Amino acid sequence: MTDLDVRARVAAELERTRRRSVTLTDAVDDDDLVRQHSPLMSPLVWDLAHVGNQEELWLVRDVGGREPVRQDIDHLYDAFKHPRKDRPQLPLLGPAEARAYTRTVRDKVLDLLDRVELEGRPLVEQGFAFGMIVQHEQQHDETMLATHQLRAGPPVLAAAPPPRPAAAVDGEALIPAGPFTMGTSAEPWALDNERPAHTVDLPAYLIDRAPVTNRQFQEFVDAGGYEDPRWWSPEGWEHRQRAGLAGPMHWHGDGTYTRFGRREPLVPDEPVVHVCWYEAEAYAAWAGKRLPTEAEWEKAARFDPATGRSRRYPWGDEDPAEHHANLGQRHLSPAPVGAYPGGASPAGVHQLIGDVWEWTSSDFHGYPGFAPFPYREYSEVFFGPEYKVLRGGSFGTDKAACRGTFRNWDYPIRRQIFAGFRCARTAPSELASSGPRSEA
């Protein structure tokens, strides 16, 4: 991309992203903005000023070398200084101040974008720091959408329903044994944890062609899955007992659930959402399967057997369009299985991108050759066994913060995020040796 293209793209992405933040925060009154809807979440007004503060720190001060706008508030919006549950008690900017602050910062950034030299510093090469800030705000927009889902009271958000299924999708796809390229060294706005590209060799495996649906998950519930420790890991069972889990979050146990303030019957063909990693693990065991590893998920999503290379997305290298995937809060729910035939991978695996984040069995670690960039606190401080990796993005994720290599992570007990899963299993030997093979 030329410099001019990078600048135009950055400006468009910043604008598109801010419109979403404004929609999510203008949807409720001031009282609602400063209130904490769940101890798991910040007040919405905190997210709003926090995205402005990160934009100030990275773009106005670091990239631009300009004077601080509000250095005095940095500590209030440092996510490492104050846990979410304590944020409502802080002397935060009020709704009007937070809005004015984010606008002031944005005006400075747009001014800077016209003048800044985009070459010679890794931080701004191909607009990286701007892309990082776009993705940061988009990630908080998804977090704000999760806050909306937790908020009590009448509905304030609306969107068109997702598309209907256009194809019947069931069963599993066989991914033959062999190496593939995982991660990326090429994607200009990829974050540090997606880098570098490296080869991973996997044995043959089967992966579900679609995420697990409400109908399938209901069968697990009806079969007494939540009462049978056989399906749960010891930690999972302990958590199930302690937290009193009996079904996905927001289900009422009578075939209805609440989404963004509306109580409705569950849609059987929709991917199940709001399950924690332990629930996903238990379902998979009950189904005689397991969760895919992160590498299995990515190979199913990116590997093209015809060329032997890894694609940016399951459908190819083009940026996500509306017919590829349910992304970007265009619809406020996952789409039923079969609704996105245009987004299938070469192996015929559907809806890997969008709809629901998919839990994998993998802990969050750096790839071989990982280098923190531009700061350790983005990813590296979270590496270790406490966090599980999620892949693929949800209906609440923007396309700027979602691709075949994008990695999300959370604690295995979390279910306020838009997370579901699909299952996998190691291919039985008679399948593993038949079919197309990619010889390394």
Output 140 or 148, the one with its CB closest to ligand AVJ.
Answer: 140
Segment interacting with ligand AVJ (CB under 6 A) among 135-143, 145-153, 254-262, 318-326: 135-143
Binding mask 142-181 for ligand AVJ (x = CB under 6 A): -x--------------------------------------
Of residues 200 through 259, those in contact with ligand AVJ by CB under 6 A are none
Q: Is 139 in the site for ligand AVJ (CB under 6 A)?
A: yes
- Of 20, 37, 87, 136, the one binding ligand AVJ by CB under 6 A: 136
What CA–CA distance (Å, rounded) separates 425 from 175?
11
Instruction: Tell me how far apart the alpha carbons of residues 331 and 270 are, in angstroms, rounded to a whole number.
Output: 13
Question: Do 201 and 179 touch, CB atoms closer than 8 A?
Answer: yes
Choice between 14 and 339, CB closer to ligand AVJ: 14
What burial class does residue 405 get, using C-beta atoms within 10 Å of its C-beta: 0-12 exposed, 13-18 middle, 19+ buried? buried
Binding residues for Fe cation: 50, 136, 140
- Cα separation, 67 vs 422, in Å, equals 49
CB of 51 vs ligand AVJ, minimal distance in Å: 9
Distances (CA, A) of 170 to 71, 213, 261, 289: 54, 11, 31, 15
CB closer to ligand AVJ, 194 vs 208: 194
- Segment interacting with ligand AVJ (CB under 6 A) among 58-66, 99-107, 139-147, 246-254: 139-147
Beta-bridge partner residues of 309:
304
CB of 83 to ligand AVJ, least distance (A): 12
Backbone angles phi, psi at 260, to 5 degrees: 45, 45
Q: Which is nearer to ligand AVJ, 297 or 409 (CB)?
A: 409
CB-CB contact of 227 with 241 (8 Å): no
Q: What is the pattern of x (binds ligand AVJ, CB under 6 A) and - over residues 381-420?
A: ---------------------------xx-----------
CA distances from 45 to 88, 99, 170 (A): 9, 9, 42
Q: Which residues bind ligand AVJ (CB under 6 A)?
A: 136, 139-140, 143, 408-409
